[in-house]
A and B are shown apart, each in its own frame.
Chain A
């Protein structure tokens, strides 16, 4: 299928693989006629120079035209080129589609496996035999089926297009010299990445028309190219003034300035537009690229007075103060560490510098290394807390984590102990003791310590849960006793070591309460201790679904893997309880499912 207008694809460039193949072939050809072709083709597709004199521009264009013609030639004989190398039609990459596009590869071979609803061909159950329009054809070469399968074929009966005169009509190229490309022609050429100089547009009016053409094409690439040209040839004031009334172009310019990092012009622009907050943020953003801490600090200082929102101003101020503080701490601690006289640094050498760390990390650091320092020092936790108005909760959490990591249980204790005026002490935790327990456990606190805090948890269910989770046997046993939950206690008996003190304790409780246990436990009772899930609307549904799903899935996965791995042993998964629960998925009892998948090899 030959076509007269190789440029018909310009609007819709070929997406197929053939382009890539062609590109590679083009390069292969290099070696054949390198001399006569390539040495002359280092042309510049788009010149940003205006220093080039007229003559060199001419030469440039001529070379460009020559090389363009080679592209055209290549286009023209591509039917010859298509079948090459392996003898297979080159454009065809159906092989790769087989893997990607589901079963579309089966379209031609056989449909017996084509059950999947995802196949595009099933959408094409239309009166016409359109099933070959699988999406994968998008990428398939044209030679495969004869009908149009590739884009260029689909457009092959397109008459010549006048808007793309450069290809197939080399003469048109020479109009390049005569300066009569209109702004819209120029923009179209740019859009195709063709040779094009913008220098001929000298009047402001021309330039703006060029910009408007570019904007109406919506192609950001071209808009940017024109903006680069305008930025270079117009004064800042004029450029800003004209862009203010052209919002799309303006946004592109802002994006472009951000991309190339022309911070100065960007700030000027924001100032001109009176976009103060953007101005401030944009200025602040610059600090990210400053590595040196001193310089970064100085830079942050310049951000402080900028017109941020009230909230943000406070944060920016804090950012500066924090870095300033970190620089002092860092210098001091590095010195201490190097001197080797301080125990904490010897025992726990610092892993990284504290510079540029978040506030909470800094607080953790200072709770770790400088916990006992008086409030007056910069590195003391209390000082940080005050300076940055760190809420109590946050402070306690961080201090707890740091002290627990050092296994300084005494400090932990002190953190939660409050004395009233009569001298009685009381334990209080603004973060809830369940959280305290979790953190302590994470830092592998000994059971005695854990137990103490588990006992402070107020909610019975949570307490029991945590105690069970962290093996605080005494707490579990005592709680069960208090709840008079005999069944739970019986169940727990199996979890403690045989002959241990805990077992004895359980037995003692069980025997002493025998008489009272005449009333059987309420049905709901056991459930309540299983989890602390609240039965809010929405909560509960999800819970039950997930729990039941877990059971079935366990069963199923077990089953599936035994099937898969060819396990021939007893079907251990058929416990009667699970069978009951997972009745819908379990197979017939008695081990009907004993797939011996390993044996087939003997066949």
Chain B
């Protein structure tokens, strides 16, 4: 920074600039758009994570808190500020709310007597963060709970705002489709915002042909099942956060001179995963069973490429070979990493327990024995497997049976409460309220109708060269994606009956375009649909949509947006009542 400051009238040594105190949750999303080096250039001297009691000593003038608008964080901030005030030279405090300033939080700061200490209170409205070329997320972990449990529409409001931003950049989307209560509300908000904004005529040629808004509670089933794509499994087993994954380091130890094992790295190996990596882009959406062959092919290609050097006779040929080396080395590194990851995953997928769990899931999804107490789930409880795993399976069974028989439900409930603690009664109620775990109403099971009409279970699935989206779960075709697929062809009119069974209204809205911006479609040209998952989306669903985009005769390409990238475990966790 600051060449102009070094000889200016300001003495840098007196005025150390700013320290940023981060809400730890935010460092991930922010890492996607800004790096420490950039902040440093702007005179950020120190970065801390937000913790109780006092701040670490830092010789800075300004202290900025970057936080989510959460009440519990306000308490910590107040503690920080008060202890800092006692400590010595006055600091300037600033607070930056992400993604939204909250009057409630400011009220709390005021109650704690520190509101006046903040010179700036601002918001950094981070509506949609790009995760990949075709994937955007709001990374709002509480969105599902807020929408479906608390009926708080704030995250829907942000979703609508994010969509308005997208339209400002990529043109008005002429057609909006939706299914579900929240989808209806987001569409209403968008229409309202557009009306308030009539002064401006958006003159951007529209990139998107359709917008499809989907409520997560229209398809509660999909996230509960174990994802079987490569990326999905990485997420299921190790958890991908903001496109980074932390892996056990053992498999990544450099194998040199054969005497490994002495000083193995102890810190988790952190890898970034996105389509910038050629190999990852190729395998991320494949079923895990098809990953091996790709890795092996790659290995052959790379070794063949290295063999090339023997054929290089002339100086020119050698030079050309050398010029390719960096690329080849990168490819080799990438291959090494993914081979290690695949080995780690294989250790899990070949375990007996994984196999048993998958078997039970697949039985449920294909409609076998969903109406009685399942032996495997009983075993899991008896062996005190993680509560999340147990809840996930019980919910899956409930969803695949349109609710459990009262007797079965009571049995599971009792087993869970006795084994994991009675306080989980609150969590069970949350799950019930969200519709994930419930008694069967009227003794009618609608799931078979839905399954058959939407062809959710495919017996002949090809994992190596898939012909249908069901490959992402090795047999089960994600309901949400099936809805998107049927919408593009032949249209929802063909499945009216099923749409009526699924919760919430379905609707269609048009946003008229001025004639100059209307598209003249070339024959064979694909439509582009923006699909917004309200309440979260899994990597397997993303993979299925990418698969549809790729189809030769698919006719539709998808860009995906969501409130949160999630999987069954993080989802259930967000619904659990936490001890205070």
Contacts and interface: CB of A to CB of B under 8 A. Distances in A.
A541 B281 contact: no
Interface in B537-579: 546, 549-550, 557, 559, 577, 579
B104 A221 contact: yes
A125 B474 CA distance: 32
Contact of A546 (B64, B297, B350): B350
B121 interface: yes
Interface size class of B (residues with CB under 8 A): 35 or more
Contacts of B502: none
B477 to A, nearest CB: 15
B6 interface: no
Contacts of B580: 288-289
A161 B418 CA distance: 61
A93 B169 contact: no
A220 B44 CA distance: 33
A315 B382 CA distance: 19
A587 interface: yes
B335 interface: yes
Contacts of B418: 358-360, 388, 390, 394
B486 interface: no
Given A130-B205, A154-B169, A538-B362, A102 B103 contact: no
A288 B421 CA distance: 12
B207 A563 contact: no
A118 B133 contact: yes
Contacts of A32: 10
Contact of B125 (A15, A93, A552): A15
B106 A46 contact: yes
B41 interface: yes
B57 interface: no
B32 interface: yes
Interface in B307-345: 307, 309, 318, 321-322, 325, 332, 335-336, 339, 342-343
Nearest to B1: A85
Interface string A218-257: 1111101100100000000000000000001001101110
A12 B168 contact: yes
A386 interface: no
Contacts of A102: 132-133, 274-276, 281
Interface string B118-133: 0111111111101111
B419 A115 contact: no
A42 B110 CA distance: 13
B425 interface: yes
Interface stretch (A133-141, A413-421, A448-456, A504-512): A133-141
A44 B528 CA distance: 47
A429 to B, nearest CB: 13
Contact of A151 (B104, B169, B557): B169
A594 B289 CA distance: 25
A100 B164 contact: no
Contacts of B126: 15
A556 B296 contact: yes
A563 B133 contact: no
Contacts of A390: 418
Contacts of A177: none
Given A536-B368, A541-B459, A556-B292, A155 B200 contact: yes
Contact of A116 (B133, B151, B368): B133
A68 to B, nearest CB: 12
B130 A136 contact: yes
Contacts of B102: 221, 224
A17 B126 CA distance: 9
A23 B557 CA distance: 38
A483 interface: no
Contacts of B358: 542
B151 A248 contact: yes
Contacts of B335: 560, 563-564
Contact of B130 (A13, A97, A160): A97
Interface stretch (B46-54, B191-199, B397-405): B191-199
B410 interface: yes
A135 B559 contact: yes
A219 B160 CA distance: 11
Given A358-B419, A560-B296, A545 B289 contact: yes
B42 A221 contact: no
B546 A559 contact: no
Interface stretch (A266-274, A316-324, A368-376, A490-498): A316-324
Interface string A26-64: 111011100000100110111010000000000000000
A545 B133 contact: no
Given A117-B549, A585-B292, A24 B116 contact: no
Interface stretch (A201-209, A333-341, A595-603): A595-603
A356 B423 CA distance: 10
Given A138-B130, A221-B100, 4 more contacts: A27-B18, A154-B169, A281-B429, A360-B418
8 contacts: A13-B123, A20-B34, A137-B169, A217-B157, A542-B362, A559-B299, A560-B335, A597-B303
Interface of A: 8, 11-15, 17, 19-21, 23-28, 30-32, 38, 41-42, 44-46, 48, 85-86, 93, 96-105, 113, 115-121, 123-128, 130, 133-139, 148, 151, 154-155, 157-161, 163, 190, 193, 216-222, 224-225, 228, 248, 251-252, 254-256, 259-260, 281, 284-285, 287-289, 311-312, 315-316, 318-319, 322, 356-360, 388, 390, 393-394, 397, 431, 435, 536-539, 541-543, 545-546, 549-550, 552-557, 559-561, 563-565, 584-587, 593-597, 600, 603
